[in-house]
Homo-oligomer: A and B are copies of this chain.
């Protein structure tokens, strides 16, 4: 399963795996795919350094990449000064904080212990945090730098190119994809409606070829709805040079989800059990539908705040929900492909299933096309 892009990156399969877990990223690369570590949850550069060291030690020399989140629009104060996390916290209305207290109390969610920090802060949305991650990452031999929101700033693209690192950016529309091309991006990840995390409204079947046409000759990776070899074949038939999978790794044995209850929810969920909600970050992101997302999406509630306020607002609550495994509220970003995630398997088993399924899908399409099989 080779495209120009997979050859350029020196991987066996044109299969890119995005994951917040170093063990999963390394296992994807070892299995012949291209592992991409999501850096958004690292608040301390030293933690990222520790995990990149770990990957280096476990990736058997295979290529891998890093995914950061730099929002296209900065949060700025009245005089355009860069805001600190405390400044942003101060912008959150008290009514929203009360809504969280009330909702958590309704479900009897315990407080964190004294001095216990919220382990889940997505301050990585803020550019200065992402930049501190990059300062660490550029010391490692990463082959790809992906940005999940908008194009990265020009100096970051330049710095990556100077080090021979390809730059990828996610897009939910042809218009966004063209902006990436104009910004000097090397690879566009077309993120369909069905994908986990931040998504637009256009489904992969329509989005992928639109983005391919919009940015040609740049390579496009298809993301959203891909968890089988058939879906991989479909994405490549649509003109993608590879596939970008995120959700499917969440239930691998190498993943380190914070809660066994959450793993069980993922294994039990059907494709209709996700929702595109602003509850987690302030921008529409597909995730498990829970009573927590319902509360935020309720027209009679206070509604969500814009990014990055919503992420800061809910950070401690999400930590508490995860720590105490409060089942009705417990969720995670995941795509509609969750309906196919029905057993815990190793990353290698997932990759084997994907590549075998791809070959079978190619056999089938050749039979339909009336071409004899090789």
Chain A interface (Cβ within 8 Å of chain B)? 1-3, 14, 173-174, 192-194, 200-207, 209-210, 224-226, 228, 230-231, 233-239, 270-272, 299, 335-337, 339-340, 358-359, 361-362, 364-366, 368-372, 374
Instruction: Collect the chain B residues with CB atoms within 8 Å of residue A226's CB.
Output: 205
Q: A164: shortest Cβ distance to chain B, in Å?
A: 25
Q: A194: shortest Cβ distance to chain B, in Å?
A: 4
For A228, the closest partner residue in chain B by CB is B209
A368 touches B231 (CB 8 A): no
Q: How far is the CA of A306 from the CA of B373 in the complex (A)?
A: 51
Q: A358: shortest Cβ distance to chain B, in Å?
A: 7
Instruction: Collect the chain B residues with CB atoms within 8 Å of residue A235's CB.
Output: 205, 234
Integer count of this chain's copies in the complex = 2
Instruction: Collect the chain B residues with CB atoms within 8 Å of residue A202's CB.
Output: 194, 271-272, 336
Q: How far is the CA of A23 from the CA of B359 in the complex (A)?
A: 41
Instruction: Collect the chain B residues with CB atoms within 8 Å of residue A204's CB.
Output: 203, 205
Instruction: Collect the chain B residues with CB atoms within 8 Å of residue A368's CB.
Output: 1-3, 14, 236
Instruction: Collect the chain B residues with CB atoms within 8 Å of residue A194's CB.
Output: 193, 202-203, 205-206
Q: Which 4 A-B pairs have the closest CB atoms?
A: A205-B225, A234-B234, A203-B203, A194-B203
B210 touches A231 (CB 8 A): no
A2 touches B370 (CB 8 A): yes
Q: A204: shortest Cβ distance to chain B, in Å?
A: 5
B365 touches A236 (CB 8 A): yes
Residue contacts A-B, CB under 8 angstroms, 26 given: A1-B368, A3-B368, A173-B272, A174-B270, A174-B339, A193-B193, A193-B194, A201-B272, A202-B271, A203-B224, A203-B225, A205-B224, A209-B228, A209-B231, A210-B271, A210-B340, A230-B238, A233-B234, A234-B237, A236-B365, A237-B237, A237-B362, A238-B361, A239-B364, A362-B366, A372-B374
Q: How far is the CA of A356 from the CA of B238 in the complex (A)?
A: 14
Q: A315: shortest Cβ distance to chain B, in Å?
A: 28
Q: How far is the CA of A369 from the CA of B237 in the complex (A)?
A: 11
B205 touches A203 (CB 8 A): yes
A365 touches B237 (CB 8 A): yes
B233 touches A365 (CB 8 A): yes
Q: How far is the CA of A298 from the CA of B166 in the complex (A)?
A: 44
Instruction: Collect the chain B residues with CB atoms within 8 Å of residue A370's CB.
Output: 1-2
For A226, the closest partner residue in chain B by CB is B205
Q: How far is the CA of A15 from the CA of B23 in the complex (A)?
A: 45
B210 touches A339 (CB 8 A): yes
Q: How far is the CA of A35 from the CA of B52 in the complex (A)?
A: 57
Q: How far is the CA of A272 from the CA of B206 in the complex (A)?
A: 10
A209 touches B236 (CB 8 A): no
Given known pairs A202-B336, A205-B205, the reply for A371 and B369 (CB within 8 Å) is no
Q: A111: shortest Cβ distance to chain B, in Å?
A: 35
Q: A117: shortest Cβ distance to chain B, in Å?
A: 37
Q: How far is the CA of A271 from the CA of B3 in the complex (A)?
A: 27
Q: A194-B205, A233-B234, A362-B365 are in contact. List 10 more A-B contacts (CB 8 A).
A: A193-B194, A201-B272, A202-B272, A205-B231, A206-B231, A206-B336, A230-B237, A231-B238, A237-B237, A366-B371
